[in-house]
Amino acid sequence: MNLKKFLRILVIENNEIDCKILKGMLSESSVGTFQLDFTDSLHKAFEYLQKHNFDVVLLDLNLPDCKGLETLKRVNDEFPDIAIVINTGAYEDDLGLKAVSHGAQDYLIKGKYTSYALSKALYYAVERKRVEEELKSAYTRLKEAQSQLIQIEKMNVIGGLASGVAHEVKNPLATILYGIEYLTQKIQTEDEKIGLTLKTMKESAQKANNIVKDLLDFAHSSKLDRKPENLNDIIEKSLQLTKVLLDKHRVQAIKQFGVIPSISVDANRIEQVIVDLILNAAYVMPEGGALVFRTLTRKLTKNYNDVIFYIDKKFSVGDSIVLVEIEDTGPGIPAEIKDKIFDPFFTTRRASGGVGLGLSVAKNIIQSHGGEIMLENRKEGGARVKICLKV
């Protein structure tokens, strides 16, 4: 660690003598160089921290507007990125361990340290915080990677099984459909019941046929007919196809299209994905709502929100991507089903005709384009789908 690095410190301390002592100790320190700002209450400290950048906070636990560990908790909650060193009175000595487990990087007792020890404590606190953040981010990535691996494994097993069944069912089903068609043409009868029976049989067989088609799509989505396309156009077309349903549910589509480059995709497949996502959103907003379509292009950064895209090394920092975000104002995804929604045949709408293939097929299609799709809940309520494709 570079102890020569200049450290910006916010001292939150209301005792003037203690402030003077700190100033003296740090100005004569041989260990590093420091810039000190002083503030005497927690609410003023928050204003400072919002406006300026600091490396570390030197915090007294006994302030006029907050006392004890609550002080630490509030700083940590509001500014989780900043390193905190507690500098407090001897009567609070026994709080040390608790403070460290509540997010402080070090705990000093007034009058019990030298200038040298104080300077070191400040530098070490900044370094500890940095390592802590790295660990946290590595842990998030590990968790994501783990759940993706489980997902891939599940998809392989279920996908193999499903497409096997679909192949077996496809031909008999075609025979049944053909038979119904033939009988419908040949049977001329006054009996309404016969006509009705044939009609229901045809509808049911067609529904089964659509499921089989989805399953086969699911297994064969690697065969793509890719051409340069603009995703804004594909969304526009998907909206036209679903207009009747959206109007029926009184869902208002809001287009926030960015200027995005064309990318090489299979337009029919991507349209299938967008239509499925629109249908999902329409079903969770039976009483109406808003559906926002946002498209943008940018380079991926090290930003927390992007970390998720690096998991299986499909993307890396600096890649140019097109991002499609679809936000609804429905109820969002309940925590207990969050890990299952991409599973084939997982549905919460079985009673109203859901098969549970929409999202699993969508994921397969996007992944076969080298992209990624995910669903998350929005802070404001409702769900957000993110589709990330490389330019």
**Which positions lie near ligand ATP, rule CB under 6 A?**
276, 280-281, 284, 328, 330, 332-333, 341, 346-349, 354-360, 383
User: Alpha-carbon dihedral of residues 301, 382, 296, 227, nearest 10 degrees?
Assistant: 110
In the bound state with ligand ATP, the residue whose beta carbon lies nearer, of 211 and 267, is: 211
Nearer to Mg ion, 12 or 281 (CB): 281
Partner from ligand ATP, Mg ion, none binding residue 341, C-beta < 5-8 Å depending on class? ligand ATP
**C-beta closer to ligand ATP: residue 365 or 383:** 383
For the bound state, the minimum distance from the C-beta of residue 149 to ligand ATP, rounded and expressed in Å, comes to 20
Rounded distance between C-alpha atoms, residue 63 and residue 22, angstroms: 17
242/280 with CB nearer Mg ion = 280
To Mg ion, the closest distance from the beta carbon of 164 in angstroms equals: 23
Which CB, 289 or 371, lies closer to ligand ATP?
289
Which three-class secondary structure string do you get for 169-193?
HHHHHHHHHHHHHHHHHHCCCCCHH
Q: Are 374 and 333 in contact (CB under 8 A)?
A: no
CA-nearest of 315, 332, 319 to 367 is: 315
- Answer yes or no: are the C-beta atoms of 386 and 325 closer than 8 Å: yes
Q: Which residue is nearest to ligand ATP (CB)?
A: 358
Closest contact distance (angstroms) between CB of 286 and ligand ATP is: 12
Nearest-5° Cα angle at 56, 52 to 61: 105
Which residue type sits at 144? E
Look at phi and psi of residue 288 and say left if phi exceeds 0, alpha if psi is from -120 to 50, else beta.
Answer: left
Nearer to ligand ATP, 12 or 361 (CB): 361
Site string for Mg ion, 326-365 (x = CB under 5 A): --------------------------------x-------
Interior angle at CA 124, CA 119 and CA 130, nearest 5: 140
Element (H, E) at 374: strand 372-377
- Residue number with CB closer to ligand ATP (99 or 355): 355
Q: What is the smallest separation between the CB atom of 355 and ligand ATP, expressed in angstroms?
A: 4
In the bound complex, what is the minimum distance in angstroms from residue 253's beta carbon to ligand ATP? Answer: 14
State how far Cα 158 lies from the chain centre: 25
Interaction partner, residue 327 (Mg ion, ligand ATP, none; CB < 5-8 Å by kind): none
Q: Report, in Å, the least distance between residue 250 CB and Mg ion.
A: 19
Residue 85 interacts with which of Mg ion, ligand ATP, none, CB < 5 to 8 Å by class: none
For residue 334, the minimal CB distance to ligand ATP (Å) is: 8
Interaction of residue 159 with Mg ion, rule CB under 5 A = no
Residue 383: which of ligand ATP, Mg ion, none does it interact with, CB under 5 to 8 A by kind?
ligand ATP
Rg (CA), the chain: 30
Residue 356 binds which entry of Mg ion, ligand ATP, none, CB below 5-8 Å type-dependent: ligand ATP
- What gap in Å lies between CA 341 and CA 283, rounded to an integer? 15
> Quick one: tokens of 68?
């004890």
3-state secondary structure of 202: helix
Shortest distance, CB of residue 345 to ligand ATP, whole angstroms? Answer: 8
Residue 56 contact among ligand ATP, Mg ion, none, beta carbon within 5 to 8 Å by kind:
none
Residue 60: how many CB atoms within 10 A of its CB? 21
- For 99, how many CA atoms within 13 A lie in the half-sphere containing its CB? 27
Nearest distance from C-beta of residue 284 to ligand ATP, angstroms: 4
Q: Are strands 372-377 and 383-390 parallel, antiparallel or unpaired?
A: antiparallel
Partner whose binding site includes residue 355, from ligand ATP, Mg ion, none (CB under 5 to 8 Å by kind): ligand ATP
Separation between Cα atoms, residue 374 and residue 354, nearest integer Å: 20
Using CB positions, name the residue nearest to Mg ion. 358
* Residue 70 CB contacts under 8 Å (≥ 6 apart), including other chains: none
Q: Work out how close the CB of 357 gets to ligand ATP at its nearest, in angstroms, rounded to a whole number.
A: 4
Phi/psi at 222 (5° precision): -75, -20
Q: Which is nearer to ligand ATP, 159 or 330 (CB)?
A: 330
Q: What residues from 262 to 301 belong to the interface with Mg ion (CB under 5 A)?
A: 280
The binding site for Mg ion (CB under 5 A) comprises: 280, 358
